[in-house]
Structure 1
Amino acid sequence: MYRITADQERSFEEKLPDLLDLGRSYLDVEAGFLTEIDDETQMIVDARGDNELLQSGQSCPLSKAYCRRTIDLDGALTVQHARVEGWEDDAAYEEFGLEAYIGAKVVVNREVYGTFCFADTEARDRPFSENEETFVELLAQWVGYELFHKQATERMQRQRDQLQEFSRVVSHDIRNPLGIVDGYLDIAEETGDPEYFKRCRDAVDRMESLIDDLLFLTREGQTIGGREEIDLGALARESWSFVDAETATLSVDTTRVALGDWSRLQQVFENLFRNAVDHGGADVTVRVGDLPDGTGIYVEDDGEGIPEAERDDVFVDGYSTETSGTGLGLTIIQQVVAAHGWDIAVTESAAGGARFEIAGIGAVESEASAVKPGTGSGE
Structure 2
Amino acid sequence: MGASTDGPPDRVRVLVAHDRNRELLAEWLGDTYEVVSGLDDEGTAADEGGDGGGPFADTDLCLVDPEGFAAHRERLRTWKDRADPVFAPVVLATEEPLSEGLDPESWESIDGLYVVDDVVQIPVEKAVLFRRLENLLSRRSLSTDLARSYERAEERFASLFHATPDPALVLSEGHVIYVNDAFCEAFGVDRDDIHWRHIAELDALPPTTRGEIESQIERVLAAEAENDAAEGAGDGAESPEDLREAAVDDGTDAAVATETGASADDAAAERSAERTETVVVERPDGEERYVETNVKPMILDDRRNVAVVMRDVTERRRRKRELERKNERLEEFASIVSHDLRNPIQVLDGRLSHLEEVADAADPSDDGDPFAGDESLADQVEPMRRSVDRMSDLVEDMLTLAREGTAVDGTEVVALAAVADEAWATTDAPEATLAVDGDLALAADPSRLRQLFENCFRNAADHGPDDVTIRVGDLPDGRGFFVEDDGPGIPPDERAEVFELGHTTSEDGTGLGLGIVSEIVDAHGWSISATESENGGARFEVVTE
- What TM-score, normalized to structure 1? 0.48
Structure with the bigger RCO (C-alpha within 8 Å, sep 6+) is 1
Name which one, 1 or 2, has greater alpha-carbon Rg: 2
Select the structure that is richer in helix: 2
